[in-house]
Amino acid sequence: MKPIVYPAFSICLTLILATFLGIHISFVRSQKNHTLIFTKENTIRNCSCSVAIRDCDYCLANLMCNCKTVLLSTMEKTTYKSHLTIWFTDTSVLEMLLNFTRVWDLKLSFCGTTPLPTEYLAIWGLQKLRVNKVKGRFPEQSVTISSSSNNDKEGLLGMHNKDRQMFAHISFLDTSLFNGYSLLKSYSVENVSSIMKHFPSLLYSDVFSTSDNESYVVTFIY
C-alpha cells in the first residue's frame, strides 16, 4: 500500500473550489507546452502541460494538464523532441517508458518511497538531465552531457559527425542514484567502436549492432 498524499489532495480540493469561485490563481508560466508522464500504481498518464507543476503532485497535474491514460499494450518506444518530465515510483514502469528511447532533455522525479535497485537504463541522445530524488527531499541536481562537437540539432538525432565518422550517443543511467543524497555524476567515453567489447559487464550489450563507420559516445550517469 502506498501512502495517500493528503496535502496534494487538499490542494486539489482548494483549487477546484477556487476555480469554482472564479478566483484566479497564478502559476509559474512556462514558455510552451511540455510533456509530463507519470505513473501511479499501474496507470500511466501522458500529459501536455502549459504550466509548471510541482513534482509528484498527481492531482494537480490531472487538473491542470491535458492528460491521457496510456495503455501498456499499445505503448511504443518513442522519440521525444522536446523536454520530457517523468514522475515514477519504481523501475519497471520507468524501464517501459525510457529504456532505449531517444530523448535529449529529460527530467526524472522519483516519487516513491521504496529504494530502487541498481539497474541500467539505456537512453539515446541524452544531453540534459535533471533529477529530483525522494520527493524533493534533496535539492534538484542536473548534468549536461556534451562531447566535443555537439550542437542541439545533432543532439536531436543523437548523433554527430566528427572527421566523417558518425557517433551515436548513448547514456546508461544507474537507477539506484535516486536512493539518497549523493552528487549526480556522469562520465563519458568517446569513440567506442563496440559497446560489447568495451563494457562486457553491461549484460545487454548484444542489443547493439554497429555499422562499419559508426562509433558510440557512451556516458554513464550515476
Ligand X SMILES: *[C@@H]1O[C@H](CO)[C@@H](O)[C@H](O)[C@H]1NC(C)=O
Taking the complex as a whole, the smallest distance from the CB of residue 119 to ligand X amounts, in Å, to 4
- Kindly calculate the radius of gyration of the chain based on its CA atoms and give it in whole angstroms: 19
| Listed residue (113, 119, 85, 127) closest to 99, CA to CA | 119
Within 8 A by CB and 6+ apart from 91, the residues are 116, 117, 119, 121, 175
By CB under 6 A, the residues from 12 to 51 that bind ligand X are: 35, 37, 46, 48
Question: Using CA atoms, how far apart are residues 163 and 161, in angstroms rounded to an integer?
Answer: 7
* Size of interface with ligand X, in residues (CB under 6 A): 27
Q: Least distance (Å) from ligand X to the CB of residue 21?
A: 31
Q: Build a one-symbol-per-residue string for 113-152: x at contacts with ligand X by CB under 6 A, - elsewhere.
A: ------xxxx------------------------------
Determine the 3-state secondary structure of 162 from DSSP: strand
Residue that is written with C-alpha cell 562531447 in the block: 147
Applying the rule CB under 6 A, the residues between 85 and 104 that interact with ligand X are: 91, 95, 97, 99
Residues that bind ligand X (CB under 6 A): 35, 37, 46, 48, 70, 75, 78, 91, 95, 97, 99, 119-122, 162-165, 175, 191, 204, 207, 211-213, 215
